[in-house]
């Protein structure tokens, strides 16, 4: 029987060898949500269509999109003339350089992290921080179209058809981030490609229906950090489920998470003729309007609000920076998107402007530059208040917002304020050794926004260390996270004024970012802009594709590419087509 066992033994040995080789050559794939500890997917039997969800708290009536004639909104873009050959060649050369940086980043994402949320720009590892729904692919989709990368665009559209928005391995998702990146990205790609790809709108509806479920609370305010698996499980409950199974809005909700969903939900209603999405966000706006003049700083809302009990005067910190920013940004943009048919949004902006203009301070600089920066205001329970001269990269959107509203609302006196705010962020870039503005910093404010003389002794006394450049006293957070807000406002002011100085400033900003953040694979956030060639933080968020490189590309494009008279850009730079009727 030995002759019969030998072939069997040989086969077993060969099989073992092949198995070992297979494991070596094709190692096991890492968990697809490797940064989500102890996360569990929704059980397969709970996969369902969100539009079939049974509401616990359905609205008793529906607020429809405003109808009637289109209100007159002045042209906002500068009337650009014919450019010379030399100007055109220089502009095109700069634009091509930006496109190459985008292509390099995109190829790295495709190669190492395709359909994951992000790619590590240092190691090439993938990670999922936004539901595992291919955040970079969705967020960067309309930029592909804008940069004429049509083949990559169509490949991505086909790939996104496989994304399942009924499940995630994350415990909770951010409704705000999912709205601006995913819903905004799909709608922007659909609009900028002129509706040629119906699958994009179909996918946007899928995302919109999922997010709409986050509004199913007793007061119809959305859950900011939402457990969609909990909501899915509720569908298996019988009527009369106990109160602990109710979905409630949060007692501590960042203002931006509550009030920065209007553009995306409104555009979805416009494209689908389904008013439920607009109804959802309009109810939030109505609550903000009721509370606007009842906070500690009338005209503005604090960074944290109680969305469950609709209490808006709990906090005393008021800012145009993180956790608040896009609420104010969306007021004029929503007015424009609705064709001026909803005066409420213009009123909300103009009322808030009368207050938040008091946050602007003029930093003391060696050359007494005529610039402004947005700070914070602290209001105490006693009623007293103080300006805090701290600024953020996030708040650099302000100049573009003020400029756009100045044009759209014919508030021409505000254009000078917009210029000074944009120039302030440019100054912050140019002042740092790396040529890049830090995440957060503090200055010595002039007592009067009209100016003040440089005081070397006071500055030397108050700066925390010798590495701090003149005009700054402290860098609270020296990172640069590949953020877009400064170039966003530089782009907007260029399109509004036609001043080519902004193109030159943008080019210098781009060169600094290119030099300081470049890795062997792509581009990375860095640790400290006060030092040249700082440590790479191995992070490249999807807004690098959606916003930062898009704005750099558009400032060097022909002005009719994504014209501000034809599109409204959401806070993630996704272009929504304006109504022309």
Of the candidates 499, 564, 575, the one whose C-alpha atom is nearest the C-alpha of residue 76 is 564
CA distance 299 to 292: 5
CA distance 41 to 56: 23
Residue 43, SS3 per DSSP: coil
Please list, in sequence order, all residues whose beta carbon lies within 8 angstroms of the beta carbon of residue 220, skipping any fewer than 6 positions away.
Answer: 57, 59, 280, 283
- What torsion, rounded to 10 degrees, do the Cα atoms 479, 480, 483, 485 define? 80
For residue 97, count other CB atoms closer than 10 A to its CB.
16
Q: Is 439 a residue of the active site?
A: yes
Distances (CA, A) of 278 to 212, 266, 457, 460: 10, 5, 56, 53
| Tokens of residue 350, six digits | 């103009």
| Tokens of residue 491, six digits | 């782009």
DSSP structure class, residue 418: H
Q: Is 90 a residue of the active site?
A: no
| Tokens of residue 568, six digits | 């409204």
Residue 306, SS3 per DSSP: strand
Residue 571, marked binder: yes
Report residue 315: phi and psi, to 5°: -105, 165
Residues 392 and 480 sit within 8 Å (Cβ to Cβ)? no
Please list, in sequence order, all residues whose beta carbon lies within 8 angstroms of the beta carbon of residue 505, skipping any fewer than 6 positions away.
Answer: 426, 490
Question: Do the bridges between strand 472-477 and strand 317-319 make them parallel or antiparallel, or are there none, so unpaired?
Answer: unpaired
Residues 284 and 221 sit within 8 Å (Cβ to Cβ)? yes
- Terminal Cα-to-Cα distance of the chain (whole angstroms): 90
384 Rama class: left (phi>0) / alpha (psi -120 to 50) / beta: beta
Q: Is 279 a residue of the active site?
A: no
- In angstroms and rounded to an integer, the radius of gyration of the C-alpha atoms of the chain is 26
Of the candidates 447, 473, 483, 279, the one whose C-alpha atom is nearest the C-alpha of residue 390 is 473
For residue 355, count other CB atoms closer than 10 A to its CB.
17
| Tokens of residue 201, six digits | 């709108």
> Catalytic pick from 485, 528, 541, 547?
485
> Catalytic pick from 139, 216, 325, 488?
325
> Catalytic pick from 125, 155, 177, 414?
177
β-sheet bridge partners, residue 392: 440
| Tokens of residue 353, six digits | 């402007």
> Catalytic pick from 423, 439, 528, 547?
439
Report residue 552: phi and psi, to 5°: -60, -40
Residue 476, SS3 per DSSP: strand
The angle, 0 to 180 degrees and rounded to 10, between the axes of the packed helices 184-192 and 198-212 is: 160
Of the candidates 207, 300, 315, the one whose C-alpha atom is nearest the C-alpha of residue 252 is 315
Residues 342 and 424 sit within 8 Å (Cβ to Cβ)? no
Residues 502 and 428 sit within 8 Å (Cβ to Cβ)? no
DSSP structure class, residue 308: T
Q: Is 457 a residue of the active site?
A: no
Residue ranges for the binding site for Ca(2+)? 571
Residue ranges for the binding site? 571
User: Would you please indicate which residues are annotated as catalytic (active-site) residues?
Assistant: 177, 325, 439, 485
């Amino acid at each position: 029987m030995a002759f019969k066992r030998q072939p069997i033994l040989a086969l077993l040995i060969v099989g073992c060898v092949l198995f070992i080789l297979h494991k070596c050559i094709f190692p096991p794939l890492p968990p697809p949500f490797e940064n989500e500890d102890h996360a569990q997917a929704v059980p397969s039997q709970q996969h369902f269509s969100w539009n079939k969800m049974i509401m616990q708290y359905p609205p008793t009536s529906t607020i429809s999109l405003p109808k009637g004639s289109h209100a007159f909104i002045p042209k906002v873009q500068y009337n650009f003339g014919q450019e010379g050959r030399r100007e055109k060649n220089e502009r095109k050369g700069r634009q091509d350089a930006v496109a190459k940086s985008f292509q390099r980043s995109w190829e790295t994402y495709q190669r190492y992290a395709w359909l994951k949320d992000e790619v590590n720009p240092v190691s090439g590892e993938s990670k999922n921080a936004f539901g595992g729904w291919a955040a970079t692919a969705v967020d960067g989709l309309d930029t592909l179209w804008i940069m004429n990368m049509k083949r990559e665009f169509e490949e991505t559209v086909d790939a996104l058809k496989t994304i399942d928005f009924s499940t995630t391995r994350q415990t909770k998702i951010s409704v705000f981030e999912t709205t601006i990146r995913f819903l905004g990205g799909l709608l922007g790609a659909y609009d900028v490609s002129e509706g040629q790809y119906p699958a994009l709108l179909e996918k946007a509806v899928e995302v919109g229906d999922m997010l709409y479920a986050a509004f199913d609370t007793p007061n119809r305010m959305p859950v900011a950090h939402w457990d969609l698996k909990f909501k899915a499980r509720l569908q298996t409950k019988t009527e009369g489920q106990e109160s602990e199974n109710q979905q409630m809005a949060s007692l501590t909700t960042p203002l931006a998470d509550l009030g920065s969903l209007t553009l995306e939900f409104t555009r979805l209603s416009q494209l689908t003729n389904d008013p439920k999405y607009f109804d959802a966000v309009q109810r939030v706006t109505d609550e903000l309007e009721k509370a606007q003049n009842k906070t500690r700083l009338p005209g503005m809302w604090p960074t944290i609000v109680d969305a469950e009990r609709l209490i808006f005067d709990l906090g005393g910190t008021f800012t145009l920076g993180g956790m608040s920013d896009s609420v104010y940004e969306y007021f004029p943009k929503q007015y424009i998107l609705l064709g001026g048919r909803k005066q409420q949004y213009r009123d909300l902006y103009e009322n808030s402007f009368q207050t938040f203009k008091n946050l602007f301070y003029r930093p003391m600089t060696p050359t007494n530059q005529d610039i402004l920066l947005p700070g914070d205001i602290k209001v105490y329970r006693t009623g007293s208040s103080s300006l805090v001269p701290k600024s953020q990269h996030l708040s650099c959107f302000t100049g573009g917002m003020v400029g756009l509203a100045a044009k759209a609302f014919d508030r021409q006196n505000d254009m000078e304020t917009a210029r000074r705010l944009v120039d302030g962020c440019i100054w912050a870039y140019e002042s740092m050794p790396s040529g890049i503005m830090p995440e957060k910093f503090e200055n010595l404010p002039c007592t009067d926004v009209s100016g003040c003389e440089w005081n070397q002794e006071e500055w030397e006394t108050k700066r925390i260390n010798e590495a701090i450049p003149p005009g700054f006293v402290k860098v609270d957070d020296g990172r640069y996270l590949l953020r877009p807000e400064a170039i966003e406002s530089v782009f907007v002011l260029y399109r509004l004024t036609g001043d080519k100085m902004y193109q030159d400033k943008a080019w210098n900003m781009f060169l600094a970012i290119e030099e300081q953040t470049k890795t062997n694979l792509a581009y990375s956030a860095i640790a400290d802009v006060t030092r040249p060639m700082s440590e790479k933080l191995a992070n490249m968020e999807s807004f690098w594709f959606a916003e930062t490189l898009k704005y750099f590309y558009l400032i060097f494009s022909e002005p009719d590419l994504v014209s501000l008279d034809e599109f409204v850009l959401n806070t993630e730079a996704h272009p929504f087509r304006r109504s022309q009727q």
